Structure 1
Amino acid sequence: MQPPFAGITRRPATAEATEADSAWITRVSAEPSNQQQSQAGSGPLDGLHFAVKDNIDVAGLPTTAGCSAFAYTPSEHAHVVERLLRAGARLAGKTNLDQFACGLNGTRSPYGPVPNALNPAYVSGGSSSGSAYVVAKGLADFSLGTDTAGSGRVPAGLNNIVGLKPTRGLISARGVVPAAQNVDCVSIFAMTVSTAAKVLQACIGYDEADPFSRRVTMASKPLPAKFRFGVPDTLEFFGDKLAEAAFTQSLEQLTGLGGTAVTINYAPLAQAAAMLYDSALVSQRYTAIQAFFDAHEEEVIEPVRSIIAKGRQYSAADYIRAEIDMLALSQVAGRMWQEIDVLFVPTAPTHYTIDQMQADPVALNRNLGQYTNFVNLFDYAALSVPSLMRPDGLPFGVTLIGPAGSDWQLADLGQRYHHATGLSLGATTRSLPEPAPIAALQAPATVRVAVVGAHLSGMSLNWQLTERDATLVEATHTAPDYRFFALANSQPPKPGLLRVEPGKGAAIALEIWEMPLTHYGSFVALIPAPLGIGTLTLADGSSVQGFVCEAQALTTATDITHLGGWRAYVNSLTHSTN
């Protein structure tokens, strides 16, 4: 048994609770005696307080999964909790959830519904409802949820916070009460992407005691500056015009960050999403708690009881057929990655009040999963980030989705997107801090090249740089040791740069561009003789790769050194014809 926590407050299963209390099932005091549970001052998460969804084990505290009859007190921390405490984080408590992590709305709990952090008349989203609420309200720096069908994303989108759903198996699920074990994963809520990414780094670790833990090859470079993002060919907002308008604005924002929208076939993704509850795959939910459910079915609340009981009706053959159908859909859906770098969807298509949800709990809950259910089934990574506040004061979030192992790429793009919104943090009035580098990403290898003629900004061949994701670094000059010529009979017109003896040349204007090294070879291949790439000395004495010219080609060229650069030469031609 781990050393006990001090100052524990446990809430009985009752719908009667204050708004803030409804998010918690067990609170833990921040007294110094609790710091024996962490390596305070010794890890990357030192000083951060966190909460865990109450289907994740914390030694000495009951794990209820939202059902008091199911509750047990573990003697060991869940693997992920142990890692967080070792990283210096401090536990604040365990949070309310849709019972047995079955739901996307936050109202399916005998401990009472968890309200939305910005408008308590509305749902918080589930099943990780309490974990999202305490972060949005600033009661915890980050929290753990779980995500099977969107429970780590929908509550983030509805509460104006970040929801990071990692690649399955990156974080061990040992010590987590499963919902559907072969598609579950532990998820992370935080105010900012950088905090969520820091927590993910602390959580990642192969665990041989978890049959679903795995070592994943992670993409280590950001997405290209110019990227393609997929948008479903059919979009459903269930009559919510404000959500529809919000997504249109979100598309414009992502385009402004360098993205190009590509329409993708959403049918196989939608078909997979439907199968999660409307096929033999739902038997996973029954299997997860079969012994308890068969003995205590009456202790499980509706509609959770009916959903889990539905899993009894399927045979092993039914389940195998469903798995084969899912693999076939995954193959079809996977073709989209040949055309796009990232998939972009609303986190949730609309927002319901608690009263609306309780009046029609199954259909409206299904609606909230319109853009989430397929992600774990297809082994994708996802990141939900805030996008804007709607005119009615409700938050609207968007989700970036990528193949397994794209977690750091999504974090990099998601942070850029989130910080471009200028939104406040969660349900607070605090402003976004400065963005922080995603430490796990390596900057792509680049090369700098100096251009002096038709490749300058606004000139006829500049597109050869920009289509290779090159960016302008600075405009400067060579050292005063070069002669500059306009080549004869070149189309489009081009200059030639020649190094000469000190005192016989001049400083020539140039631009320095930086491009990914992977594109450099194709750029150099476009350079026609007598031009080539050599080493240029700049005015400050440093060196850079740049355009040079063979000396014999300059015998018929016009010396334009006195003009100091190609742009001045082009301007002189224009003036001479006027």
Structure 2
Amino acid sequence: MDIAALHAAYAAGDQNPRCVVEGIYDRIEKEGLRPVWISIVPREQAIARAHALESQDRSKLPLYGIPFAVKDNIDVTEMPTTAACPAYAYTPTESATVVTKLEAAGAILIGKTNMDQFATGLVGTRTPYGICSSVFNAKYISGGSSAGSAVAVAGGLVTFSLGTDTAGSGRVPAMFNNLIGLKPTRGAISTHGVVPACRTLDCVSIFAETSYDASLVLANAAGFDAADLYSRQPAVGAGASPWAGAPTFRFGVPSEALLNFFGDDHNPALFKSAAEQLTTLGGVAVEFDLQPFLDAAQLLYKGPWVAERYAAIAKFIGDHKAEMDPTVATIISGAANYSAVDSFDAAYKLEALRRTTSTAWHNFDVMLLPTAPRAFTIEEIAENPIERNSILGTYTNFVNLLDLAAVALPAGMRPDGLPFGVTLIGQAFTEAALLSLADKLHRKLSTALGGSRRELATTPSLKAANPPHGCLLMAVVGAHLSGQPLNWQLTQRGGQLVKTSKTSPHYRFYALANTTPPKPGLVREPAFNGPGIEVEVWALPANTVGTFVEGVPQPLSIGTLELEDGSLVKGFLVEPVGTEGGLEITHLGGWRSYLASLK
């Protein structure tokens, strides 16, 4: 069940956490531990945890009674961490920060899931614990490296799960199992207590059936952690997404020449359909050059970043290489081919690609890509494990290197019964806006949840934040309106028009004397009952508000305006003294009407 459905069942008395946990363990006993799980919390311990929750205040626990799983490179107290390599196993004395936070929010851990060994792979076949397959067809891979985490959610064993994502491991399995796969900004969720793959790039990812669920999990998982050297505290305005509140937005789609589906016959049409549906949500497609992003992707496995994987397990691989998965050992051992000079050369190349790719974001707000070009059978991966794995990362490998955020979402079913998926990609710390848009697009493209027959339409939608993340709402009434001479002061700062509205009736409106360009002023009179004055409400990135306000000349000021619906926003007011010598134009209802009256 999704989070809202479980919470509703708990509130109605139709379910309780103990019954839910009992049902999950009954299924695991019937279906077997492998290949989804590497280890599980002892049944009695999980039931005791559920029972303890039942005496607590549900209203203070946003994830009350919600079962979840974690990938087995994430530490859980007194449970072995194997990273899918039995010889590597150790038993931690404390849980990863993210696990501790989720349990504190009321979630119930069921167990640790199967994965590509040392999180090296996008296939889910590089493990001694059995190969996970797509819940839609046992012949096809589940995707990796977070294979078991995705299958556990798609198969209805848990409501959400944690994976990790360095090259796409939180997104590719989402596509093959019809799930939401959130890859947050690097450092948004602590990786303290996570076995590193590439420590500078690793992210904890979230699998869920809906964007609503992923958003709720993120809200309880994210946050700065001093124990994680790569944890980040976003600055004011970081990830500002004014486009998320606007009636229209721009999305980047690659030129057709650079879209490669590697011989697949069905996915091109499904991707085209996804782009078309995004336009019905207000999106304006902008074609862009994907090549520099693809060039960055090549650096991850065909450059010295593989040495970072070696650094994570250097001593172990020296002593236990024969006990590792052969493909994983081959990839990580390749680090010996790179020198310190190679690392610096690659760093310089990546910095050049950052510069090139950053200019693309001037032309669009969000990027739409296939999550993976195509699916492979388990047999096909066995025939060519490295090259076909690389194909799966075509549209994912560059994201962490370029410090981007991404949400993978279901995008319809193929004629052969396999799911397809697309990914929305945004700049760092835009997760909230991406999830909101992903929810809308998901509902356009899909009907069922995960691998079940339950309907997406029965789940709560995820509302866009108001104001948009990282933004402040600013109401303008005169020279800053669209098409007026000072509107550039908003657009130059990345502001976007959210809506046109009116003030409440408690405002008088004046054309001010001796202003260049001509400007009006609003004065609030609580007892006045006028027509309301036309305003435009703009979303302005919070880190630009200071310079905007600095340019406001006396007698104008920025204060708080009441709109006709009772909501409050920042906006232009004038000191009463500023109306001296001016003309009251309240009856005209707005600046544009006044300007028209002068013609």
TM-score (structure 1 length as normaliser) = 0.77
Do the aligned residues in 2 keep the contact of 1:49 with 1:89 (CA within 8 Å)? yes
1:100-132 CA-to-partner distances (Å, cap 9, x unmatched) read: 111001111111110101222111100000000
The equivalent of 2:3 in structure 1 is: none
Q: Which amino acid aligns with 2:340?
A: A
From 250, 267, 272, the counterpart of 1:228: 250
Cα separation, 1, equivalents of 2:497 and 2:160: 37
Distance between the aligned counterparts of 1:179 and 1:517, measured in 2?
Answer: 38
Q: Are the aligned partners of 1:402 and 1:410 in contact in 2 as well (CA < 8 Å)?
A: yes
**In structure 1, distance between residues paired with 2:349 and 2:477:** 54
What residue identity is the alignment partner of 2:38? Answer: I
Instruction: Indicate conservation of the 8 Å contact 1:223/1:413, yes or no.
Output: no
Rate the CA distance shift 1:513–1:81 in 2: closer, same or farther, 3 A.
same
Q: Following the alignment from structure 2 to structure 1, what is the Cα–Cα distance between the partners of residues 564 and 271?
A: 49
Question: Which of these residues, 124, 135, 152, is aligned with residue 117 of structure 1?
Answer: 135
Sort the Cα spacing of 1:124 and 1:170 in 2 relative to 1 into closer, same or farther, 3 A.
Answer: same
Of residues 74, 77, 81, the one that matches 2:99 is: 81
Report the counterpart of residue 206 of structure 1 in structure 2: 224
Q: Residue 450 of structure 2 is aligned with which of 419, 426, 429? A: 426
Matches within 5 A, 1:125-136: 125-136=143-154
Give the conservation status (yes or no) of the 8 Å contact 2:405–2:431.
yes
The equivalent of 1:67 in structure 2 is 85
Q: How do 1:235-274 and structure 2 match up within 5 A?
A: 235-274=259-298
1:167 corresponds to which of 167, 185, 189: 185
- Residues 34-73 of structure 1: per-residue CA shift (max 9 Å, x gap): 5559983442211211100001110111111001111111
Q: Does 2:36 match 1:23?
A: yes
Displacement after TM superposition at 1:274 (Å)? 1.3
What is the alpha-carbon distance in structure 2 between the residues aligned to residue 540 and residue 154 of structure 1?
Answer: 44
Query: Which letter does structure 2 place at the counterpart of 1:149?
Result: A
Q: Which residue of 343, 346, 349 corresponds with 2:370?
A: 346
Q: Deviations over 1:181-204 (max 9, x none)?
A: 111111111111121111112112
Q: 1:471 to 1:437 in 2, by over 3 A?
A: closer
1:436 aligned to 2:462?
yes
Match of 1:412 among 430, 436, 445: 436
Question: Conserved in 2, the CA contact under 8 Å of 1:105 and 1:124?
Answer: yes
User: Deviations along 1:225-256, whole A, 9 cap, x unmatched?
Assistant: 22111122311100112111111001101111
For residues 252-274 of structure 1, give each alpha carbon's deviation from its aligned partner in whole angstroms, at most 9, with x where no partner exists. Answer: 01111111122222222111211
Residue pair 1:281, 1:323 contacting (<8 A) in 2 also: no
Secondary structure of the corresponding residue to residue 418 of structure 1: helix
State the structure with more CA Rg: 1
SS of the aligned residue for 2:305 comes to helix
Distance 1:516 1:76, change over 3 A: closer
Map Cα deviations across residues 417-458 of structure 1 (whole Å, 9 max, x no partner).
22233421100111121213366955965578999xxx9xxx
TM-score between both structures, scaled by the size of structure 2: 0.74
Aligned equivalents of 1:542, 1:64: Cα separation in 2:
53
**Aligned-pair distance for 1:508?**
10
Q: Give runs of aligned pairs for residues 372-387 of structure 1, distance below 5 A.
A: 372-387=396-411
Answer whether contact 1:194 1:438 (CA < 8 A) is retained. no
1:334 aligns with 2:352: no
Q: Counterpart of 1:27 in structure 2: which amino acid? A: I
2:335 aligns with one of 311, 315, 326? 311
Q: Which residue of 1 aligns with 2:203?
A: 185
Contact 1:158 1:348 (8 Å CA) reproduced:
no
Is the 2:46–2:110 Cα contact (8 Å) retained in structure 1? Answer: no
| Residues 505-556 of structure 1: CA deviation (Å, up to 9, x unaligned) | xx999999766589xxxxxxxxxxxxxxxxxxx99999999xxxxxxxxxxx
Q: State the partner residue of 2:324.
A: 300
Deviations 1:387-414 (A, max 9, x none): 2112221111111111212122212221
Do 2:411 and 2:446's aligned partners in 1 also have CA atoms closer than 8 Å?
no
Contact 2:186 2:403 in 1 (8 A): yes
Determine if the alignment matches structure 1 residue 105 to structure 2 residue 123: yes
The one-letter code of the counterpart of 1:344 is: L
Aligned-partner SS, 2:95? coil
* 1:94 matched residue in structure 2: 112
Q: 1:438 to 1:109 in 2, by over 3 A?
A: farther
Q: Is the 8 A contact 1:97 1:106 kept in 2?
A: yes
SS in structure 2 of the partner of residue 345 of structure 1: strand
Question: Alignment partner of 1:133: what SS?
Answer: helix
| Structure 1 counterpart of 2:519 | none
Q: Give yes or no for contact 1:133–1:159 (8 Å, CA) kept in 2.
A: yes
3-state SS, counterpart of residue 379 of structure 2: helix
Letter in 1 for 2:254: P
Which amino acid is the alignment partner of residue 462 of structure 2?
A
2:349 aligned residue: 325
The aligned residue for residue 516 of structure 2 is: none
Distance 1:256 1:29, change over 3 A: farther
How far 1:372 moved relative to its partner?
0.3
Q: Cα RMSD between the aligned structures?
A: 5.1
Native 8 Å contact 1:472 1:511 kept in 2: no
Q: How does 1:506-525 map to 2 (within 5 A)?
A: 516=539
Q: 1:23 to 1:227 in 2, by over 3 A?
A: same
Give the AA of the match of 1:174.
Answer: H
Match of 2:38, SS state, is strand
Conserved in 2, the CA contact under 8 Å of 1:37 and 1:85? no
Superposition deviation, residue 345 in structure 1: 0.7
Written as runs of structure 1 = structure 2, the 5 A alignment for 1:132-143 is 132-143=150-161
Q: Secondary structure at the match of 2:407?
A: strand
Question: Could you say if the C-alpha distance between residues 257 and 288 of structure 1 is closer, same or farther in structure 2, counting changes exceeding 3 Å?
Answer: same
- Matched with 1:197 is 215
- Matched residues, number: 536
- Cα distance, 1:474 vs. partner? 9.1
Cα distance between partner residues in 1 of 2:78 and 2:370: 39
Q: Would the alpha carbon gap of residues 331 and 28 (structure 1) be closer, same or farther in structure 2, given more than 3 Å must change?
A: same
Q: Relative to 1, partners in 2 of residues 1:33 and 1:97: Cα closer, same or farther, differing over 3 Å?
A: closer
Q: How far is the alpha carbon of 1:385 from its aligned partner?
A: 1.2
* Equivalent-residue separation in structure 1 for 2:108 and 2:201 (angstroms): 28
The structure where helix makes up a greater share of residues is 2
Paired AA for residue 24 in structure 1: W
Deviations 1:71-107 (A, max 9, x none): 1111111111111111111101000001111100111
**2:208, 2:226 → 1: CA distance?**
28
Residue identity over aligned pairs, in percent, reads 45
Match of 1:355 in 2: 379
Tell whether the 8 Å contact from 1:157 to 1:398 is kept in structure 2 after alignment: yes
Deviation at 1:166, TM superposition (A): 0.8
